[in-house]
């Protein structure tokens, strides 16, 4: 009787170890990805015009939806092998194969008719206005301003009107 209880406990412990080990593969080391050693979270963009978003990090997991906007900014929140857990501006996300992602930085305009100025200064002339939902390429950023471009227009916009960059991020 004692032997069977001991074997059951050992089996339960072994299963628990395997489950924890598998879960640990998707876990991160501090603020860095376990696979790439790049910071987490971080922003990337969708490389293709369509990207399957899966429930888990493999081809066997169900596709929950499809991202259909090339260059859309996404935030990587976890890594597992060749897979990255991403989320969009609305927090929707899942697992995407790394080959569908690009390190080219883009931002999503969150303010309708966002003024894009010729210099990073509120008094600078407005060079263009970007509509809500425009995806723009991201250039240099100061603490409060980012240089963006879309549709042949470029200039400086305040960070508060953009999604795809953190408030404290500075880019050269």
Neighbouring C-beta atoms of residue 74, cutoff 10 Å: 27
Considering the domain architecture, whether residues 54 and 96 belong to the same structural domain is answered as yes
77 CB burial (10 A radius; 0-12, 13-18, 19+): middle
Considering the domain architecture, whether residues 18 and 97 belong to the same structural domain is answered as yes
Q: How do residues 87-132 score in pLDDT, each as one tens digit?
A: 999 999 999 999 999 999 999 999 999 999 999 999 999 999 999 9
Q: How do residues 21-67 score in pLDDT, each as one tens digit?
A: 333 444 444 699 999 999 999 999 999 999 999 999 999 999 999 99
Residue 2 inside a domain? The answer is: no
The owner of tokens 């790439």 is 36
The angle subtended at Cα 52 by Cα 51 and Cα 53, nearest 5°, is: 115
Residue ranges making up the domain that contains 128: 107-163
Please give the tally of structural domains in the chain.
2
pTM: 0.81
């Amino acid at each position: 009787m004692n032997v069977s209880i001991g074997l059951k406990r050992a089996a339960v412990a072994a299963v628990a170890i395997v489950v924890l080990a598998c879960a640990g593969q998707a876990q991160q080391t501090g603020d860095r990805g376990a696979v790439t050693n790049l910071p987490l979270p971080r922003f990337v963009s969708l490389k293709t015009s369509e990207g399957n978003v899966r429930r888990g990090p493999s081809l066997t997991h169900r596709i929950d939806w499809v991202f259909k906007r090339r260059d859309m900014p996404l935030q990587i929140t976890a890594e597992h092998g060749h897979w990255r857990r991403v989320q969009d501006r609305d927090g929707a996300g899942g697992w995407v194969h790394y080959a569908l992602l690009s390190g080219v930085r883009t931002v999503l305009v969150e303010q309708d008719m966002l003024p894009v100025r010729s210099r990073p200064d509120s008094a600078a002339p407005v060079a263009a206005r970007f509509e809500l939902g425009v995806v723009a390429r991201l250039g240099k950023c100061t603490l409060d301003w980012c240089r963006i471009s879309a549709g042949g227009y470029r200039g400086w916009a305040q960070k508060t009107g953009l999604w795809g960059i953190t408030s404290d991020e500075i880019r050269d």
